Amino acid sequence: MHVSFNLASSFDAALKTAAGAAGLDATDFTPEVRTADPKHGDFQANGVLPYAKRTKQNPHVLAEKIVAALPADLRTTCTITVAGPGFINFTLQPAALQAWLRTFSTRAQLATGAATAYAGQTWVVDYSGPNTAKQMHVGHLRSPVIGEAISRLLVFSGATVIRDNHIGDWGTQFGKLIWAYKRQLDIAAFATDPLAEFERLYKVGNSASDADPAVLKEAQQELVKLQAGDTENTAIWEKIGEVSVSAFQQIYDQLGIRFDYTLGESFYNDKVERVYRELTDCGLATESQGALVVFHPEHPRFKEQPFIIRKSDGAANYASTDLATILYRSEHFHADAAIYVIDARQSDHCQQLFLTAQKWFGKTSRKSPHLEHVAFGTVLGEDGRPLKTRNGDNIKLKDLLSEAVERARRLVDEKSASLPEDERRHISEVVGVGSVQYADLSQNRSSDYLFSWDKMISLEGNTAAYLLYAVARVRSIFRKLEAVPGDPAVEAAASAFDTPEELALARKLTKFSDAVALATANLRPHFLCLYLYELAGDFSTFYAADKVAVDEPAVRARRLMLCARTLLMLETGLGILGLRTISRM
């Protein structure tokens, strides 16, 4: 029996063909197959109703006609019924569930199954992108966490992903920073934490410029020298970049992130002239009060609020470099899509940027990549306001992650006191960092979320610790029985799934592909989190009801098979989210 990875899309295709055979206009018919409420079956097609309405037919009769035209072998693998006004329900037979689980028994097989959806497409994922000379703080948490999970989802679905860190490494702030560096560098502080020292120096330069116009003038001079390519200032600026990127990488290492490119704003310095020229030539950009701007007359706000692409002093800005970046990604990477994992507060910038780029590409007959702002909300403290330290400072990301590991350590010491010290340390790291990642990913990214240590590092609820514990528990079952997860010799002997708990778990396992597809199509990892959480719950129910270590070899084999696939989906899913897993806890 041929088993397709994504069952929903194979039912979708079968329904489309059947609709054509049954005399419907297949180009106008979208089956809309979705995962169903388990009460009704595995999948449900809702698309007959709107089609029937459009064509003034009886939906139930129409649905019956389509079902009758489905291939016969589909009816041996599932029960197909027409329900209510015209929903088509599919319920997989136990043998079909088992065939699916036999076909997709390793991570590689899952990946091969999934890797058709986006095959051949190149996606640039623009995420993290912090500004240099400053330490990353809690406001910089979500973009790398969400961006990495989305990158992994896209890779899993077969896309070629280019991870690009668009750091803010250019701008007027460097004049003040260089001014202070030349006069007030604390060598000892620089040796211990160079990025913290640069951050301090910037503040020094900034307040000195505020207090004294003469200093401001000197700082501006330093900036002019840097822009003109002065050797000394360029060397200082390069040092700032190096120190910043290596400090960022320490955070990225903890989060499992490796960028393919770190092409910051400065990389586009020599590429903005072409943007000004092309946008002016094609009539999109106009001069306004000395600046070069783009209006969007069709937009309620952007018809009056211009997109400034060159400042009145002639300098490039965020918009100029971002436009040059789109051109570069299109010409150099041949990107089919570029997605921007940036705070929702930059949504005006993104909208104006995308509108401008699409019109520009249209006028110059280039194909614009698909551009999308993957927006996310703010991390809030328990008081409902943006999370800060007690003194009102921003919480540094490195401190936040260390605290997570420390807190996880308390949980581990309490629950797993018998494990050796170095293993407990390792588990604490995986649980601590994973809890922070997972708390972020399990929320719909569009909303703000409340940062709560107690909820985050807990064995109860939809948390990393709960899922990591589930993984460790399944591993321990195999350890106790001295069995290897997924052993083909054992699984060959498995009999058909039979108990309600076995069937419920098997059903849930086959929905892995759907969860991945849903999360990828919407660029929303929380769909995958929710799936994993429910899967762990179904596993618990199964494990409480059905003993695995029974004498009868065929029953034991099929239950071990369910344990092995649960482990596979949990580990693969958590891996896609960017979390590490552990085998004991």
Q: Which stretches of the chain bind ligand ARG, using CB under 6 A?
A: 126, 129-131, 166, 168, 322, 325, 340, 342
Bridge partners, residue 45, by sequence: 33, 88
Helix (H, G, I), strand (E, B) or coil at 3: coil
Nearer to ligand ARG among residue 349 and residue 580 (C-beta): 349
Between the alpha carbon of residue 503 and those of residues 223, 235, 373, the distances in Å are 68, 65, 40
Strand order in 285-288's β-sheet? Answer: 285-288, 291-294, 307-310
Nearer to ligand ARG among residue 126 and residue 429 (C-beta): 126
- Measured from the CB of residue 298, what is the shortest distance to ligand ARG in angstroms? 24
- Measured from the CB of residue 127, what is the shortest distance to ligand ARG in angstroms? 8
- Measured from the CB of residue 347, what is the shortest distance to ligand ARG in angstroms? 12
- Measured from the CB of residue 342, what is the shortest distance to ligand ARG in angstroms? 5
- Measured from the CB of residue 357, what is the shortest distance to ligand ARG in angstroms? 12
Nearer to ligand ARG among residue 110 and residue 326 (C-beta): 326
Nearer to ligand ARG among residue 445 and residue 473 (C-beta): 445
Give the ranges where 22-58 is alpha helix by DSSP (H).
Answer: 48-54
Between the alpha carbon of residue 11 and those of residues 41, 51, 75, 76, 444, the distances in Å are 13, 17, 12, 14, 28
Distance (Å, whole) CA 261 – CA 136: 19
Instruction: Using DSSP bridges, classify how beta strands 87-92 and 122-126 pair: parallel, antiparallel or unpaired.
Output: unpaired
Distance (Å, whole) CA 402 – CA 449: 20
Instruction: Using DSSP bridges, classify how beta strands 160-164 and 122-126 pair: parallel, antiparallel or unpaired.
Output: parallel
Distance (Å, whole) CA 585 – CA 581: 10
- Measured from the CB of residue 346, what is the shortest distance to ligand ARG in angstroms? 6
- Measured from the CB of residue 457, what is the shortest distance to ligand ARG in angstroms? 28
For helices 553-577 and 421-441, give the axis angle rounded to 10 degrees: 70
- Measured from the CB of residue 343, what is the shortest distance to ligand ARG in angstroms? 7
Angle formed at CA 194 by CA 189 and CA 198, multiple of 5 degrees: 95
Nearer to ligand ARG among residue 150 and residue 342 (C-beta): 342
Nearest-CB residue for ligand ARG = 129
Nearer to ligand ARG among residue 396 and residue 424 (C-beta): 396
Q: Tell the residue number behind the tokens 């997860």, with chain if given.
A: 485
- Measured from the CB of residue 435, what is the shortest distance to ligand ARG in angstroms? 25
Q: 10 Å Cβ neighbour count for 38?
A: 14
Burial class (CB in 10 A: 0-12, 13-18, 19+), 287: exposed
Closest CA relative to residue 59, chosen from 79, 35, 26, 84: 84
Nearer to ligand ARG among residue 284 and residue 357 (C-beta): 357
Nearer to ligand ARG among residue 126 and residue 218 (C-beta): 126
Nearer to ligand ARG among residue 110 and residue 324 (C-beta): 324
Q: State both tokens at 428.
A: 């604490």
Distance (Å, whole) CA 275 – CA 285: 10
